[in-house]
Structure 1
Amino acid sequence: MNGRRILTIARKDLSEVLRNKQAIAPLLVVPILFAAVFPAAIALLGRSPVLTASVNGLDAFLDNLPAGVLPPDLNTGGIVVYAALTYFMAPMFLMIPIMVASVIGSSSFVGEKERRTLEGLLYTPVTNRELVLGKVLASLVPAVVVTWGSFVIYTIIANVLGNPVVGRAFFPNVTWLIVVFLLVPAIAFLAITLIVAVSGRSTTVQGAQGISVLVLLPVLALVIGQATGLMLFDAPVALIAVVVIAAIDVAVFLAVAKTFQRERLVTKLT
């Protein structure tokens, strides 16, 4: 594959996204919720039973925590803040790159169709793998950057508001470093590759975004599994998820690139 061609496609798509303020605005909603509003509410209301009653699944999650997970000297407020910010929010944080990717990636080919620039792109000498990878990178970069920026905000809030309640510095831990720097790029790549594949078969951006929401289902399964006590999203689980998703990334990318039919897209345009 030609790296220059891939980067050219990625830069072109990324510049189109940055010029579209209507597409950028929704990207801020989910990160603000998960990186600022939720952790701040948990830290400030950690001592109140209202929090565990109002956050769906949090009460059950606290009841199902395995023995030895929490430091033994925490009071009730410290337990809620420590457990929620360290474990409960970790799989939820994975929704940020997926939601960002769904907004940007879903307009990949559909946006080209609507701007009537797709036909010229399909007639260029780029290979299918180069074309798909370039489209994926154009969405992967902002998805990862937004998530990493959200992690910085989350870390600041957890330390400024959470440390006084817990009574010590506790964030970030190894699990979060694995999630943010390894699992986020891996799951974002998977989501974007699937979304690009869907985008190539959709006729409108809204249609591609509607189908791409299905990518959230595995993350929701993690959230539900942790809330019901079926599993704890800790460092070993995060590492296993990284290895599994990285393998799936390679397989899905190769399958999408192999089944990509530019001739069919050109036919639809004529």
Structure 2
Amino acid sequence: MSTITSPSHSQIDEKQSSYVKSFAASNSMWQTFSNALIITRREVRDSLRDWRIIVPIVLLTLCFPALANAASAAFINLFEGYGADGRALVESFLPLMPMIVGFFPVSISLVIALETFVGEKERRSIEPLLSTPLTNTELYIGKVLAAMFPPLIAAYLGIGVYLGGLILGEQQWRPALMLVVQILVLTTVQAAVMVTGAVVISSQTTSTRAANLLASVIIIPMSMLVIVESLIMVQPNRRFVLWWIAVGLMIVVVLFVRIGVRIFNREELLGRSVDQINLQWIFRVILDQWRGITPQEREAFVHRGVPIPHSPTIFHWYKRSVFPVFAELRHPLMAIGVAIMGMFAVGWYLSTIYVLPLERKPPTTEIHVLEAWQKALETPFGYYETPLEVAPLPEKAPEPLSVKERFSQAIVAAQPKPIEVESPPWQFSDETLLEQLQELQEFASDNPQLIGVVLGQNVRVLLAAAVLGLLSLGVLSTIIVALPFGILGYIFGNLFAHSINPIPFIVAVIAHGVVEIPAILLAGALILRASMIITKSSTELTVGEAWLRAITDMVKVGIAVVFPLLVVAATLEVLLTPHAVEWALQIGF
């Protein structure tokens, strides 16, 4: 017979305390949002009173959709006049225009977001606002919501006017509901990205002139993104990618809001009137971080009148300055590891869709492995140079075509046609591979400069990842670092699909990857930390000082740890990897 035990008083108290904490947290979030809406209502009411804001938005909402509708009709009639399929053109081209119609009002109305803080500061109306009992988070969120309202209303009205013209006009186009939802979602997240970024700029500048100049940092990347989205939108089979772009933009919005709340400070906003570049202070911060001296230690040394100590030996510098950085890399390393595993899984999944033909006869023309290495050494930067085959001139020049004939031929040539491609017949032979590996070993031993070629390639990629990561909050650097593992996943997926023994390929990766993969992980974590340091809240350091110290840590550990690991990995890749693969083949793997 089972007995029923009643919970103890401590368990009941723990449950009650957890309920109270969760209720308090939800109540606090709702109170923050409710207080932020006070600022939002005030800002929107002031914006609607200003005719200089309302009139341009109304004109853009009414005139630009009508212009886009007329341009769409003209393009469709032009292409149909030259024999193109009008129905297919409508389905591919018309969904592009609502997205563009929604983007222009948002980009032009961005001036509202750029003046949220700095405009009020110049009009001397920000002091009463900052003296309210609202927190910095409530002030910032309220300003963001207020700046987002007019652009979104203008974008939605513009899209509605344009779609109404298409539905009721001569095109009689009936877009799918999911397509309209997709366009509205993209317009919303694009507006959110641009507005949140503009509010960050407005809170950190000292004049509207500087804010308007810095707006190009937002408008130019978003314009390029709209071009990419347009290329995807005209391909109906690829439009699902736009949902992933929308998810990525939502993540950027969260990051921008976090950055804005992190760096917004009402005292600094009131006290800062002029920004200047202090090169002496920048050099001092970089030098202190290179030595491993914290701001508290510098303040203590200055207070006691003691000179800043130097590291007597390289081992002391590693212990004091380099190794402590690893304690800050736990979360970035986890993020890079998850990205690498995810990219490997994506590559494996793609191998099930795009299968390599690995079981057919060898091709008639092939590039020998040794010839490829020789080409890499002879040509600059390791790129191939192939001679151009020039066709003989015709005996008699053809008759010139008219403009209409040339345009008709271009339209017909642009129509999609089924292409029959004979897959390259590939087949692996252990004997042939062993011979090429032996030749490669001899060639590598006679040409040690191959180590420099491999090392230069790895360093170039990581430097590009560092620059792009700092400009994209670590997004592009993470993709660049994880992309080779996606290629590995694609290769291994094809090997398993064709029942090819993967052991030699695994040996080829592990032989130098045991050193190269940790170096890549460490470099990716350093870049991600330096790129995302601006989103980490800190009351001791300013944004500029935190960024300088993180970049100095990235360069310092990169020179002291990552670069030596890459040198060892390149040496192993050139001298050891061919021997390891040959050994794996000879013993019967």
TM-score relative to the length of structure 2: 0.37
- Give the direction of change, closer, same or farther, for the CA distance of 1:155–1:193 in structure 2 (3 Å limit): same
Tell me the distance in 2 between the aligned counterparts of 1:215 and 1:94: 17
* Equivalent pair of 1:32/1:150 in contact (CA under 8 Å): yes
Tell me the distance in 1 between the aligned counterparts of 2:135 and 2:194: 21
Tell me the distance in 2 between the aligned counterparts of 1:84 and 1:30: 22
* Equivalent pair of 1:95/1:219 in contact (CA under 8 Å): no
The offset of 1:209, in angstroms, is 2.9
SS of the aligned residue for 2:94 comes to helix
Deviations 1:89-148 (A, max 9, x none): 254245235325412111111221132111121122211211111001102122222211
The one-letter code sitting in structure 2 at the alignment partner of 1:84 is F
The one-letter code sitting in structure 2 at the alignment partner of 1:262 is R
Q: Which of the two has higher C-alpha Rg?
A: 2
Q: Is 2:102 the partner of 1:99?
A: no
1:12-31 aligned at under 5 Å gives the runs 12-31=42-61
Deviations 1:150-190 (A, max 9, x none): 121011111122535xxxx432552331121x222222122
The offset of 1:31, in angstroms, is 3.5
Comparing 114-123 with 223-232, which one deviates more in the overlay?
223-232
Q: Is 2:248 the partner of 1:244?
A: yes
Deviations 1:34-93 (A, max 9, x none): 4221123212452125999xxxxxxxxxxxxxxxxxxxxx9544444442212x325424
SS of the aligned residue for 1:170 comes to coil
Aligned equivalent of 1:83: 92
Tell me the distance in 2 between the aligned counterparts of 1:33 and 1:209: 25
The one-letter code sitting in structure 2 at the alignment partner of 1:132 is Y
* Equivalent pair of 2:68/2:101 in contact (CA under 8 Å): no
Larger relative contact order, structure 1 or 2 (CA cutoff 8 Å, min sep 6): 1
Aligned equivalent of 1:194: 197
Deviations 1:184-226 (A, max 9, x none): 2222122111101111223333432332243233332234336
Aligned equivalent of 2:186: 183
SS of the aligned residue for 1:48 comes to helix
- Give the direction of change, closer, same or farther, for the CA distance of 1:97–1:236 in structure 2 (3 Å limit): farther
The one-letter code sitting in structure 2 at the alignment partner of 1:185 is T
1:256 to 257, 260, 266: 260
- Give the direction of change, closer, same or farther, for the CA distance of 1:76–1:20 in structure 2 (3 Å limit): same
Aligned equivalent of 1:266: 270
Structure 1 unmatched ranges of 5 or more: 53-73
Aligned equivalent of 1:160: 168
The one-letter code sitting in structure 2 at the alignment partner of 1:25 is V
* Equivalent pair of 1:144/1:185 in contact (CA under 8 Å): yes
Tell me the distance in 2 between the aligned counterparts of 1:161 and 1:81: 13
* Equivalent pair of 2:106/2:151 in contact (CA under 8 Å): yes
Aligned identity (percent) is 26
Aligned equivalent of 2:146: 138
Tell me the distance in 2 between the aligned counterparts of 1:50 and 1:25: 38
TM-score relative to the length of structure 1: 0.77
* Equivalent pair of 2:200/2:256 in contact (CA under 8 Å): no
* Equivalent pair of 2:101/2:158 in contact (CA under 8 Å): no
Structure 2 unmatched ranges of 5 or more: 1-28, 275-589
- Give the direction of change, closer, same or farther, for the CA distance of 1:209–1:45 in structure 2 (3 Å limit): same
**CA RMSD after TM alignment:** 3.1
- Give the direction of change, closer, same or farther, for the CA distance of 1:206–1:158 in structure 2 (3 Å limit): farther
Deviations 1:7-28 (A, max 9, x none): 1111111122112222333324
SS of the aligned residue for 1:217 comes to helix
SS of the aligned residue for 2:77 comes to coil
The offset of 1:239, in angstroms, is 1.1
- Give the direction of change, closer, same or farther, for the CA distance of 1:97–1:6 in structure 2 (3 Å limit): farther
